[in-house]
Structure 1
């Protein structure tokens, strides 16, 4: 797994190339933690992340433990398996805010197609 990062003003886009699991989680967390303080929006582009285990849930739903304001985190370009995992996680824990995390995701009814 590797990733690319682009920062544009207050927004950062991290594109993950490869699986997201407990082996890759520390690297991705470090990338997010190393963003400059002026970055208030973080987009995880998962087009090339075809598989994600529960480590991905930790990555996407945990807020940084650093002081200051939390970043708005969104995800785009999800493959079917990571998307199903996120939907399942929100069914188990309805307090998770899937709509905020996935603003460009089709309604859950279309996932069964």
Structure 2
């Protein structure tokens, strides 16, 4: 499959500008149809309502999604599946999840 790499982008845009053609009625009709059908929000997004006080807090295992209860030095170990992860990675991952779920906080 042909790809355009970042270093080729300027050259590709220039070649597109050189090869410009007039838009036909079909092109204009298609563009208008696409604009008319555009949706700002996806109808397939189903996000449940939740708030901070209702959510169980803790670090969740990457592999099995259970809550992690034990730490060993700078590592955490999931008691459900045995997966181990560095404490730093687990905390950073949890912070990113928190930011995604609670942007206002």
Does TM, normalized by the shorter one, top 0.5?
A: no
User: So what's the TM-score if we normalise by structure 1?
Assistant: 0.22
Greater RCO, CA 8 A, separation 6+: 1
Q: When you count strand as a share of all residues, which structure comes out higher?
A: 1
User: So what's the TM-score if we normalise by structure 2?
Assistant: 0.23
Q: When you count helix as a share of all residues, which structure comes out higher?
A: 2
